[in-house]
Structure 1
Amino acid sequence: MNIVNKVTVRHLKENKRRSLVTIIGVIISVAMITAVATLGVSFLDLLIREDIDRNGEWHVEYQAANTQQLQAIEQDANTEQLIVTKDGFADLENPTTDSKHYLYFRQFEAQGMEHFPLALTEGRLPENANEVVISETVNNNSEEAYEIGDSLTAGVGERMHSLEDRKLSEFDSLQFGEGDTINEEIVNVTEQTFDIVGIIEQPGWETSWLPVVSVIGLTDTTNAAADETFNGYVVASKVNTDLFDDAKAFAKEQGIPSVDFNSDLLRYYGATQNNNLRATLFSLAGIIMGIVVIGSVALIYNAFAISVSERARHLGMLASVGATKRQKRNSVFFEGAIIGAISIPLGILAGIGGIWLTFQFINAFLQDALNVEQQLEVVVTPMMLVVAIGVSALTILISTYMPAQKASKISAIDAIRQTQDIKLTGKAVKTSKWVRKLFGLEAEIGLKNLKRNRKRYLATVFSLVISIVLFLSVTYFTNNLKTSLKMTQSDLQYDIQLYGGELDEESFAQYENLPEVTEAGFIRQAQVEIMVAQDGLPDVLNEQVERGEILLEDDKLRYYASVYAMDQENFEQYTEQVGVDALSFGQETPRAIVIDEVVYQNGITGTINETKTIKAEAGETLELLGSSISETGQEIEPEVLANVEIAALTDQVPTGVSTAYPGGVDLVVPMDALDELGFIAEETSPVITLSTNDPMKTEAEILEMDEAGVSIMNVFQQRQQQEQLILLMSVFTYGFITLISLISVANIFNTISTSIQLRKREFAMLRSVGMTPKGFDKMIRYESLFYGVKALVYGLPISFASMLAMHFALGQTFSYGFAVPWGSVAFVIVVIFLIVGAAMLYSIAKIKNDNIIESLKQENA
């Protein structure tokens, strides 16, 4: 180690406080980068494990492939593992419900079962082709009570649509024709007998509204016939966006009829076929990483910039004893290297340790509140560590290089006297006369102090601005992320839906009184048409009219409209929610509530949009028309059914209502309005929705009632998965906000306390010339005010620009209006003054009782 570096090390040791504060600043910065990256990677890892636990681990499915094609799939360069299955269907003997018709046989090759969620409740998994396990739903939906050791004989074949000559899968609902006619059948039947060796929980692919219950067995391609086909599920060795095109091209080359993808799982890996979604993900990732990196750079640079004057004085002393410019620069680089060598490893450990500690608290919440079986695990990737180390090292280099370059160009005397930092010209420290008039002498002195050492002042303001931008940008990002997620989820606020059959008010009362039911709703739906003038069309339809994509009839567009008639109790609750009087309905003129704002997915671009369905005002009248198409398919003049007054327009959707797309509109009326509107109850579609304390038990009770023609949709499981995802996202987003907030507060305290420590001699001088403790406190309060105002003047516009950039990025996939989070803005305005004031007062309290003479003499802080 040369003499200059030895002097640098001694200087760091002598200036312990400054060195420690600089190290802490770098540690906080590195910890922020590491923590944010770890949080994001670990959250994606949880989503991946949750999806695999629910739907199995596979990426590509090649359907109806023969044995030669399976061999080609297995030998493909991007196939890490091939899972072969064979599907079949058989009639369910003696079903207890009309909603379940088939046994769905899913037969795996031996190793394939490891990649799909098969949870045993009794027995063991099959070990040969003559053994099967059954889903617990088999016994729940059949009069046959199967036990382990029993034999199961069934005619297994293919499920075909009897009119359209196409194969049906386990995900197809029952194909009905006129009345109760079922337009499907089992063909190519082979009689088979199996031994039942176990019972499993209901698999994730088996939902209550599909007509199948599952039987799991083994298959073997070794002795398969040449024309026998299987499904090949591939675990890819490389998962990226090219996977979609490569798999399709491979299937075409090998003559494989169709290919499918595990889209949800691939999306968590960052692979998607939706170009708009891909652009959104990359844009958002770039923006948020840019904000985090800029914040980290600011933290590190600020940690060095706040003590530039101290380093300049040290370099001036080196120059006075003959140090060259190169030696001075190398001295500063060496100081940065020492601080980086200490701070970067500690920062990485602090970031990972902080996330690990956070996950310990979150995991208990995930299991108790969200019923999520998987736990958050700390995932650290080499790339993440390389980025954290690289950004931190580069920032330290920049932060040390700039002051070293400047210090190397000034004379030794100026560096020792620090005349380059302290500006005493009248112009430099000039303040407005209004400052003294409005706030007093103490405020003027405080402002002059800030102007006197402008670098230190700007470094503190810069730190505050970065904190404001970080908090508001991340808050906007997380809030819009949740909004975008909710737009993709179906808004089903009930547990069970009943439809079809002879549902009426009498049967509604019967279902409503089931023991576990907490809320029930009865709706009758009717379809009508209305004609909407062009000035009443939303922008999305007017654009299509201008492009000639849709045609008007006498300057009007024919809308399809759904009329939803609600039972009286639920209708009164809905009118209260919307803000209209329920008693105003049922008068001479029929009235309806119009749902005029909906979310829909554009079928061409794939974007998810929020739009008005109609431009209208309360009090206007809509003319309801019958169908313009006759039963024979001929176009006819539609009958005028009724004129309906718009009682209110709302975006609130009542339970059981499915909102329209652009070109359609939904009207909500009370049940007794059906007669006024010219509808016959028997011509409407009845729907009953139930919310229960135990959806599975309630479903079983409804099945026991065995109402003819009534279909059951248990949406509890589907909604539970959606709610888990939204709540998981909430945990992630609020954790992200909390993390950024804590880092910002730590940064502000670190910056201000360091600044105050370096001004000990200045404060001692003010006290020595007679400034009272009361005046001193007043000066500090006004300095806090100046810091806060200056930070907000710069921070808020930059934050708004960042929000607009994020809104533009989200607009590639999700279309909704830009809204400033004024609540967060107000919060940050209040908090910035509180934090600055608290940091200033805390720092002053630590030096308040220092001896004036010793502080004036002090060289090192």
Structure 2
Amino acid sequence: MNIVNKLTVRHLKKNKRRTLITIIGVIISVAMITAVATLGVSFLDFMKRQTIASSGEWHVQYKDITKKQLESIAADETTSKLVIANELGYSPLENSENRNKPYLFIQEYNEQGYNQFPIEVSEGRLPKTANEVIISDEIIQDAKVDYKIGDKITLEIGQRLVPGAESPLKQNDPLQQDEEIGKETLQIEKTETFTIVGMMKRPILEPTWSPGYTVINYTNSTLLTQHDLLDAFVVMNKVDGSLYNKVEKIKKENKIDKVEYNDALLRYYGVTENDNLRTTLFSLATIIMVVIIIGSVALIYNAFAISVSERARHLGMLSSVGATKKQKRNSVFFEGILIGSISIPIGIIAGLGGIAATFWYINTYLKGALGDGAENLEVVVTTYSFLIACFVSILTIFISTYLPARKASKISAIEAIRQTQDIKLSGKTVKTSKLVRKIFGIEAEIGLKNVKRNKKRYRVTVFSLIISIVLYLSVSFFTDSISKSAELSQDGINYDIQVSGSNMTIDELKPFSYLDDVTDASVQTRIQLNADIQEKFLPDLLKEMIEKENLPLDNGKYEYYVNLYGLDEANFQEYAESIGTDAASFTDTDKTKAIVIDKISYQDFNTGKFIETNSIDTKLGEKIDVVLKNYETEEHVLLPELKIGALTDQVPFGVISSRLGGLDIIVPQKTMDKLISGNEQVKQKVETYLFLNSSDPLTTQKEIEDATTSDVNIYNVYKQKQNEQQLILFLSVFTYGFIALISLISIANIFNTISTSISLRKREFAMLKSVGLTLKGFNKMIYYESIFYGVKALLFGLPISGVVMFLIYKSVQRTFEYGFQLPWLNILFVIAAIFIIVGSAMLYSIQKIKRENIIDGLIQENI
């Protein structure tokens, strides 16, 4: 180690507080970079595992293929694992006590299928031959059919058919029992005998509303004939953007008609057919990483810049005894290497430890909120994420030390000894407006002159504040955008169970609301109507669609489809309060008032975009004429006009918003009864639904099935909703955790810069006290300095933040379309926080030096 480096080490040891602050600043920055990289990788891993647990591990499904096509797919170099799957069909389940599940559904898999799909054996084993099956526990527990391992069962297997349907019904289709629509029948095609070799838990892939209990049979390629049609699920040996081209090539070469991709899983590999989505993800990642690096550089740069200012005389003395520019520059780089070698390992460990602690806490919440089926969050560190964290950290420290190192190399001996390199005074430099003294007093004028006198130190402090503002607002807007995008991409399902039935009434459905496990319930009626809306009330996006698709307008009006919902008194009261309107005003009037949902979100399947827009541009008091249209008989029934009593973007519990060109209107049930009274044709079109949230959805479903004697349709969408909640929950944790981390770094940055700046001004403060500045006047001067710093930082920080937020918004717009809106609450928080933090930092620093002796302050040297 040369003499200059030895002196650098001695300086770091002597100034322990400054060295410790610098090390802590670098640790925080490295921990943030590590945490972000680890969080991203861990999030993708979590969502992959959760998706595989829910729908199996496969990337591509080739549908309705022959044995020859299967062999070609199996031989392709892109195929890693191949699952043969075939739906044999349905068989009547004799003596079943569950009339909503009267069938057995026989599904065939090869041995690989047992590994790739979520099949959990509870007793016995999986089938190994074509005449063996494993059955669901639910057949015994729910249907009360006494099957045992070893039993031989003879099944008549066929397809479920409905009059007029083009293809047989599948497991996702509920039992069709409505005589008016068309009751389903089972067309028997063959009879098979099987031996039961095991029991399994109800497969996750079996929808709760499906009419058949799952039975799994064994198959393989040798058992197939050339005439059999089956499905092949493929795990690709390499998952990247070329996957789609490779699959299309296989499809074309083998003349395969139908191919489906496991988009739910592929998206977490960063692979998607939607190029806009890929561009959006990379754009967002680039913007936020640039913001993080700039923030980290600013934090660390300030520490090294202040360190160089403190060492100015020390470096000048080295120059006076022959130290070259290169040696002085290298001494700063050496300081950076020393601090980095300590801070980077600690920062990486701290980042990983922080993520691990966060995940440990969240996992307990995940189990409670989402049930035992939820996967655990696990800290995943890949080679790439580790190297990225190290590289970005090293790059950040290098950039942070480069400018201070250049500055150090230029310090001359005379300037350093006189300590004039930072302060260049002239009358014009410190000139202030007379209004400052007249309005705020001489203390404010002195404070402003102090700010102007040392512009470099002032700029460093303001720059630090600006970076903190930009960091906080950019990251909070980024996380809000991610959460908003995630919400738009979901189906909007806000309930666990939907119950309906042919001709079922409110009185028949209402008792299910009081079942033990039910936490929320809403009985509502719905009728589908039409309304001609004047062109002036159409939103811009709808006008563009009408013009683009050349849709006709009838006398300057566009025909909307309307979903009119009637809510019972309690639910309407609760809903009205949630949107800030008076429920009584909708029932205490002769006029028929309604709540209109004027904002909708949906996915445009032509562009792949997720869109949030206005459904209608109208105002309170306007009237809507709704009509029931029968397009077959061309008969129209005009209902009483509806007056808009409230506009909102919130949908009631159980309602899913319409698409563009549709309108959702909410009225009390009394109003609905009034609208349809006296017209049997309208009454026949009214549908009645019950929506439930339950702490135990499967038990609630079973209780409803056991309690009703009439035909009832139950859609238990709890699992689907649970998957959506997991994504939103994880993003919420990411949002609040990220914002908390950024806030911590910003506060540390401000405190570090200001406290050091204050400690370097001991001589200046001692001089002011020596000429008669009182303690009260001194504190007043500091208050005004804080205000000057805050105002200047906000003048630059807010516009820069606005530009960054707009760039983030434009990146998101490639896939998610919604209006740009500034986060006003966050902006107000930043404005208040800047003045509070700056004032607190300055007062904290002043408390440490205000009791110092004036003489000691005047002779203070920054070494």
Structure 2 length-normalised TM: 0.91
Counterpart in the other structure of 1:240: 240
What fraction of aligned residue pairs are identical, expressed as a percent?
Answer: 50
For 1:834 and 1:173, the matched residues in 2 are separated by 60
For 1:65 and 1:637, the matched residues in 2 are separated by 47
Counterpart in the other structure of 1:735: 737
What letter matches 1:215 in structure 2? V
Could you tell me how far 1:263 is from its partner in structure 2? 1.0
What letter matches 2:818 in structure 1? Y
What letter matches 1:599 in structure 2? S
Per-residue CA distance 1:385-427 (angstroms, 9 max, x = gap): 3333333333333333334434444543123323221223222
Contact 2:133 2:194 in 1 (8 A): no
Structure 2 CA distance for partners of 1:224 and 1:638, relative to 1, 3 Å: closer
For 1:729 and 1:166, the matched residues in 2 are separated by 40
Could you tell me how far 1:574 is from its partner in structure 2? 4.0
* Greater displacement, 505-514 / 750-759: 505-514
Contact 1:148 1:199 in 2 (8 A): no
1:170-569 correspondence to structure 2 within 5 Å: 170-174=171-175, 179=180, 181-182=182-183, 185-186=186-187, 188-200=189-201, 202-371=202-371, 373-409=374-410, 411-512=412-513, 514-517=515-518, 519-547=520-548, 549-569=550-570
Gaps of 5+ in 2: none
Counterpart in the other structure of 2:806: 804
What letter matches 1:47 in structure 2? M
What letter matches 1:381 in structure 2? T
Per-residue CA distance 1:505-558 (angstroms, 9 max, x = gap): 442344445455455433333333322222222222222333352111222222
Report the 3-state secondary structure (helix = DSSP H, G, I; strand = E; otherwise coil) of the residue aligned with 1:139: helix
* Greater displacement, 824-833 / 124-133: 124-133
Counterpart in the other structure of 2:621: 619
Could you tell me how far 1:3 is from its partner in structure 2? 3.8
What letter matches 1:211 in structure 2? P
Counterpart in the other structure of 1:718: 720
1:462-861 correspondence to structure 2 within 5 Å: 462-512=463-513, 514-517=515-518, 519-547=520-548, 549-577=550-578, 579-582=581-584, 584-585=586-587, 589-627=591-629, 629-631=631-633, 636=634, 638-669=636-667, 670-676=671-677, 678=679, 680-861=682-863
Structure 2 CA distance for partners of 1:772 and 1:76, relative to 1, 3 Å: farther
Instruction: Quote the RMSD (CA, aligned, Å).
Output: 3.0
What letter matches 2:234 in structure 1? V
For 1:536 and 1:732, the matched residues in 2 are separated by 39
* Greater displacement, 707-716 / 153-162: 153-162
Contact 1:495 1:689 in 2 (8 A): yes
Contact 1:590 1:676 in 2 (8 A): no
Structure 2 CA distance for partners of 1:184 and 1:276, relative to 1, 3 Å: farther
For 2:21 and 2:514, the matched residues in 1 are separated by 68
Could you tell me how far 1:239 is from its partner in structure 2? 1.8
For 1:435 and 1:162, the matched residues in 2 are separated by 87
For 1:728 and 1:45, the matched residues in 2 are separated by 12
What letter matches 1:430 in structure 2? K
Structure 2 CA distance for partners of 1:447 and 1:382, relative to 1, 3 Å: farther
Structure 2 CA distance for partners of 1:688 and 1:17, relative to 1, 3 Å: closer
For 1:586 and 1:788, the matched residues in 2 are separated by 53
Count the aligned residue pairs.
Answer: 856
Per-residue CA distance 1:47-100 (angstroms, 9 max, x = gap): 222222222222222233444433433343333332333332222313444533
What letter matches 2:821 in structure 1? A
Contact 1:575 1:582 in 2 (8 A): no
Contact 2:315 2:411 in 1 (8 A): no
Could you tell me how far 1:503 is from its partner in structure 2? 0.7
Per-residue CA distance 1:224-253 (angstroms, 9 max, x = gap): 323334433222232223222321222222
Structure 2 CA distance for partners of 1:305 and 1:180, relative to 1, 3 Å: same
Contact 1:344 1:392 in 2 (8 A): yes
Report the 3-state secondary structure (helix = DSSP H, G, I; strand = E; otherwise coil) of the residue aligned with 2:222: coil
Report the 3-state secondary structure (helix = DSSP H, G, I; strand = E; otherwise coil) of the residue aligned with 2:533: strand
Structure 2 CA distance for partners of 1:135 and 1:333, relative to 1, 3 Å: same
Contact 1:761 1:858 in 2 (8 A): yes
Structure 2 CA distance for partners of 1:180 and 1:402, relative to 1, 3 Å: closer
For 2:568 and 2:16, the matched residues in 1 are separated by 76
For 2:289 and 2:523, the matched residues in 1 are separated by 49
For 1:247 and 1:173, the matched residues in 2 are separated by 32
Structure 2 CA distance for partners of 1:522 and 1:29, relative to 1, 3 Å: closer
Could you tell me how far 1:375 is from its partner in structure 2? 2.3
Contact 1:280 1:812 in 2 (8 A): yes
* Greater displacement, 346-355 / 640-649: 640-649
For 2:791 and 2:134, the matched residues in 1 are separated by 70
Could you tell me how far 1:726 is from its partner in structure 2? 1.9
* Greater displacement, 698-707 / 135-144: 135-144
Contact 2:526 2:566 in 1 (8 A): yes
Contact 1:92 1:142 in 2 (8 A): no
Structure 1 length-normalised TM: 0.92
Counterpart in the other structure of 1:53: 53
For 1:277 and 1:827, the matched residues in 2 are separated by 32
What letter matches 1:212 in structure 2? G
Report the 3-state secondary structure (helix = DSSP H, G, I; strand = E; otherwise coil) of the residue aligned with 1:654: coil
Report the 3-state secondary structure (helix = DSSP H, G, I; strand = E; otherwise coil) of the residue aligned with 1:205: coil
Contact 2:546 2:552 in 1 (8 A): yes
Contact 1:586 1:673 in 2 (8 A): no
For 1:434 and 1:127, the matched residues in 2 are separated by 93
Could you tell me how far 1:734 is from its partner in structure 2? 1.0
For 1:784 and 1:588, the matched residues in 2 are separated by 61
What letter matches 2:116 in structure 1? H
Could you tell me how far 1:178 is from its partner in structure 2? 6.3
Contact 2:496 2:717 in 1 (8 A): yes
Per-residue CA distance 1:250-269 (angstroms, 9 max, x = gap): 22222334222221111122
For 1:179 and 1:14, the matched residues in 2 are separated by 91
For 2:447 and 2:650, the matched residues in 1 are separated by 54
Could you tell me how far 1:126 is from its partner in structure 2? 4.0
Report the 3-state secondary structure (helix = DSSP H, G, I; strand = E; otherwise coil) of the residue aligned with 1:560: strand
Structure 2 CA distance for partners of 1:153 and 1:855, relative to 1, 3 Å: farther
Contact 2:67 2:226 in 1 (8 A): yes
Counterpart in the other structure of 2:84: 84
Per-residue CA distance 1:671-726 (angstroms, 9 max, x = gap): 42133584542342222334445432332222123433321112333323322332
Contact 1:80 1:237 in 2 (8 A): yes
1:58-77 correspondence to structure 2 within 5 Å: 58-77=58-77
For 1:532 and 1:198, the matched residues in 2 are separated by 58
Structure 2 CA distance for partners of 1:398 and 1:743, relative to 1, 3 Å: closer
Report the 3-state secondary structure (helix = DSSP H, G, I; strand = E; otherwise coil) of the residue aligned with 2:625: strand
What letter matches 1:396 in structure 2? I
Could you tell me how far 1:193 is from its partner in structure 2? 1.0
Gaps of 5+ in 1: none
Per-residue CA distance 1:551-591 (angstroms, 9 max, x = gap): 11222222322333334443444445552454654865544
For 2:516 and 2:16, the matched residues in 1 are separated by 72
Could you tell me how far 1:827 is from its partner in structure 2? 1.6
Contact 1:12 1:19 in 2 (8 A): yes
